[in-house]
Structure 1
Amino acid sequence: MTRYFLHLVDGDDVICDPEGSELPSIAAAREQALLSAREILAEAIKIGAQRVPRFVVAVSEGGNEVAVIDMREIFPPGMK
């Protein structure tokens, strides 16, 4: 398994995932990034946050960007 890190990005601001997670594939890393983006957005709505990160970026332990989730694109098609 490979370790993937899910970083939060908003413009020049980056919050790095210091621990990462062992995942079996790039597809699993992308799915985890999507799930994390949904959880972040749900929590932001609950607490009335004025701002959320723009992207969740999955990066392999080798430093390769394997998935980018744009927070604006995670809503189901009928909810945009």
Structure 2
Amino acid sequence: MPRYLLHIEYLDETIIDEDGAEFASLDLARSEAAVALRELFAAAILVEGKPVPRSISICNETTERLARINLETILPAGIKTAW
């Protein structure tokens, strides 16, 4: 199975995923990134001062970006981001 790296992008820094994870397809990696981004967002809004993630980039093992999941695209319609 292919290995994908999920880099978490904040406003002023990027957390590099050096280990990655194996997924059967890019679509499954995208789904996992969307779940992770929602969880990171939920954790950030519960703690004052905790940075809010902006996106997760999905890269292959050669660090080529294959996709990006943006926070605004995965939040429910009633939630607007002010970050």
Instruction: Answer yes or no: same fold by TM over 0.5.
Output: yes
Q: Is structure 2 residue 61 aligned with structure 1 residue 61?
A: yes
List runs of 5+ in structure 1 lacking aligned partners. none
- The offset of 1:11, in angstroms, is 4.8
In 1: Cα distance, 2:48 partner to 2:74 partner: 18
In 1: Cα distance, 2:34 partner to 2:14 partner: 17
35-44 or 62-71: bigger deviation: 62-71
The percentage of counterpart residues that share the same residue type is 36
In 1: Cα distance, 2:76 partner to 2:28 partner: 20
TM-score of the superposition, structure 2-length normalised? Answer: 0.80
In 2: Cα distance, 1:22 partner to 1:43 partner: 25
Contact 2:10–2:51 (Cα < 8 Å) also in 1: no
In 2: Cα distance, 1:6 partner to 1:73 partner: 17
Aligned residues: 80
Contact 2:4–2:58 (Cα < 8 Å) also in 1: yes
15-24 or 42-51: bigger deviation: 42-51
RMSD: 1.8
TM-score of the superposition, structure 1-length normalised? Answer: 0.83
List runs of 5+ in structure 2 lacking aligned partners. none
**Residues 1-80 of structure 1: matches in 2 within 5 Å?**
1-11=1-11, 13-80=13-80
SS in 2 for 1:40: helix
* Higher helix content, 1 or 2: 1
Contact 2:8–2:57 (Cα < 8 Å) also in 1: yes
